[in-house]
Structure 1
Amino acid sequence: MSKLEEKTLHSEEIFTGKVISLHLQDVELPNGKQSKREIIKHPGAVAILAITDDNKIVMVEQYRKALERTIVEIPAGKLEKGEEPALCARRELEEETGYECETLELLTSFYTSPGFADEIVHVFLAKGLTKKENAAALDEDEFVNLEELTLKDAIQYIKEQKIYDAKTAYAVQYLQLQEAIGQK
């Protein structure tokens, strides 16, 4: 046990929603004192950095209610219970963009907000894209516009805050790094 670890004394689930649940925990701190923690439980998600044969980044524009605005993002979606991240990535890529991919490589996984949530996002690189004739449909509550951007355009979108989320900024920075070290 780490000397920084907080011991859970009591945990109560105070909200269960369609995607997340909220737990209120009483914890014992490393110094022996007690405190409370509000923890969001999330099933995890995938994000797909999909690159076309002409080196465009496939993105979707969608309205994000929590932000009260639209932003441009790499395709992404929530893991279903027991679903393998790679299978979810292929499903989400097809649903959101109509593309299927020849190759899919896990780039990294990261926690989005570890101060209060356990959501982990698995970021995949998809190449060898082809448009599928009868692609899976979007979820009934999901509406997106498809965009294909050059790396230069994506960097400009970050400056303009059209791209404004961590997973997409990570993907763009990954491509910048690959370009800087001469790998594509």
Structure 2
Amino acid sequence: MYTVLSSRRVFDGRAFSLRVDEVQMPDGRQASWEILGHTGGVAMVPLDVDDNVLMVRQYRHAAGVELLELPAGTVKPGEDYAVCAARELQEEVGLAAAQLELLGEFFLAPGYSSELMRVYLATGLTPASLPQDADESIAVERVPFRQAVRLAINGGLRDSKSIAGLLLAAHWRGQEK
């Protein structure tokens, strides 16, 4: 059994916190682990009536590049994941979804982060925009579903949540091959 002996908060920011946990491992050894605490995230696979995925192109400063991604966002403390998905879809692509179906969930980097990502299929799309976050500059691109899945498979996408989300959607649709 892993036992947390102590936990020290090092940083509290807008998007995450950093703590250092001193942990006793099952064999008696002790380890010091740095953990990024995160409230969670959502990504959406918005499919329009023409079988296009609405994706976003945006600059990601930590990566130092512009990336093509699924629309996504951070869950606010205490916020329901599906509520967050609906809000982020409106903020990032200007659409509301009549149906949000959970495709799956996964930890993005479980070696050092608590961030749980849930991916939703968004269908029945209608215009309904909310203002974008002040620190975002997003361009929306319509990508045919099959092409988006090929990008995920062949290295054309470099964002892990988008790759996983599109592969989950392809599996859901029976098009994983």
Per the normalisation by structure 2, the TM-score is 0.92
User: Could you say which residue in structure 1 is the equivalent of 2:169?
Assistant: 175
Shift of 1:46: 0.9
**In the alignment, which residue of structure 1 is the partner of 2:158?**
164
Q: Secondary structure at the match of 1:129?
A: strand
* RMSD of Structure 2 on Structure 1 (CA): 1.7
- Aligned-partner Cα distance in 1 for 2:23–2:109: 19
State the partner residue of 2:139. 145
SS in 1 for 2:34: strand
Aligned residue runs from structure 1 range 67-82, under 5 A: 67-82=63-78
The residue identity in structure 1 corresponding to 2:86 is R
In structure 2, distance between residues paired with 1:15 and 1:86: 28
Contact 2:22 2:33 in 1 (8 A): yes
Q: Indicate which of 37, 41, 45 corresponds to 1:41.
A: 37
**What's 1:61 paired with?**
57
Deviations 1:44-95 (A, max 9, x none): 1111111001100111011111110011111100111111111111100000
Q: CA deviation at 1:177?
A: 2.5
1:159 to partner: Cα distance:
6.0
More strand by share: 2
Query: Structure 1 residues 158 and 122, CA, compared in 2 at 3 Å: closer, same or farther?
Result: closer
CA shift at 1:22, angstroms?
A: 0.7
Q: 1:9 maps to what in 2?
A: 5
Contact 1:59 1:73 in 2 (8 A): yes
* 2:92 matches 1:96: yes
The structure-2 alpha-carbon separation of the partners of 1:105 and 1:176, relative to structure 1 and needing over 3 Å to count, comes to: closer
Verify the 8 A CA contact 2:103 2:172 in the aligned structure 1.
no
Q: Which runs of 5+ in 2 are unaligned?
A: none
User: Is the 8 Å Cα contact of residues 103 and 121 (structure 2) preserved in structure 1?
Assistant: yes
CA distance in 1, matches of 2:78, 2:149: 35
**2: distance between equivalents of 1:96 and 1:44?**
17
CA contact (8 A) 2:103 2:168 kept: no
Instruction: Note the residue ranges of structure 1 that are not aligned, 5 or more in a row.
Output: none
Once the two structures are overlaid, the 10-residue window that deviates more, 162-171 or 29-38, is: 162-171
Cα deviation 1:126-162 (Å, max 9, x = unaligned): 1011123xx2110111110101101332244336744
**Residue of structure 1 in register with 2:127 after alignment:** 131
Shift of 1:25: 1.2
Cα offset for 1:179? 4.4
Structure 1 or 2, whichever has the larger Rg, is 1
Q: Is the 8 A contact 2:73 2:84 kept in 1?
A: yes
Task: Count matched residues.
Answer: 176
